[in-house]
Amino acid sequence: MKQKLNEMHVGRLIHILSHTMKRHNPAEVMENDDLTTMQKHVLKFILLETMHRDLYQKDIEEEFQIRKPTVTGILKLMEKNGYIYRESAKQDARLKQIIPTEKAEKIRPAILKSIEEGEAKMLRGIPKEDVELCKQVLWQMYENRKKSCDSRNDF
């Protein structure tokens, strides 16, 4: 295994881990047929982020690297299905703050539990120092990729 690992590209390892994480995704705790997979990911993001800050459409665009019309469509359907509502921000009426409804709030505990369990399984047996180093290296890889792609505008 060690030899195979040494021969494997970092991008391939990241892809394998990403694929495994998607297959066991916290969004799956939402067994709802009225939400698409992407809407579930966005709702998970909304539920997690609104725990500690106000959230706006621009935040979703940046997090998922998707364009404004796509996010608008996702949010309209989520609003129609009763998971979010939008209200004018106090500081700027042009901005619409995204707020989860009671229907969405009921899902939050299951999502948090699923994330916690997934992290524990993934990091089992790995020293904290190694986890911190991994985070730093992965972030630097992201930044490097972002810089090279920003210049070509295809990230």
Assess contact for 41 and 27: CB atoms under 8 A: yes
Q: Could you tell me if 128 and 94 lie in one domain? A: no
The pLDDT value recorded for residue 77 is 94
Quote the CA–CA distance of 67 and 6 in Å, as a whole number. Answer: 38
The model's pTM is: 0.74
Assess contact for 70 and 78: CB atoms under 8 A: no
The pLDDT value recorded for residue 42 is 93
Tokens 């490097």 belong to residue: 144
Phi, psi dihedrals of residue 96, rounded to the nearest 5°: -110, 115
Domain of residue 21, residue span: 2-110
Q: Could you tell me if 41 and 91 lie in one domain? A: yes
The pLDDT value recorded for residue 26 is 55
The pLDDT value recorded for residue 47 is 94
Residuewise pLDDT in 10s, the chain (155 residues): 666 877 889 999 999 998 888 777 655 666 666 788 888 889 999 999 999 999 999 999 999 989 999 999 999 999 999 999 999 988 888 889 999 999 999 988 988 888 899 899 999 999 999 999 999 999 999 899 888 877 665 54
Q: Could you tell me if 101 and 134 lie in one domain? A: no
Q: Could you tell me if 94 and 125 lie in one domain? A: no
What's 23's domain CATH number?
Answer: 1.10.10.10
Q: Which amino acid is at 14?
A: I
Quote the CA–CA distance of 76 and 44 in Å, as a whole number. Answer: 16
Q: Could you tell me if 123 and 104 lie in one domain? A: no
Q: Could you tell me if 56 and 123 lie in one domain? A: no
Q: Under the phi-then-psi rule, with left for phi > 0, alpha for psi from -120 to 50, and beta for the rest, what region is 115?
A: alpha
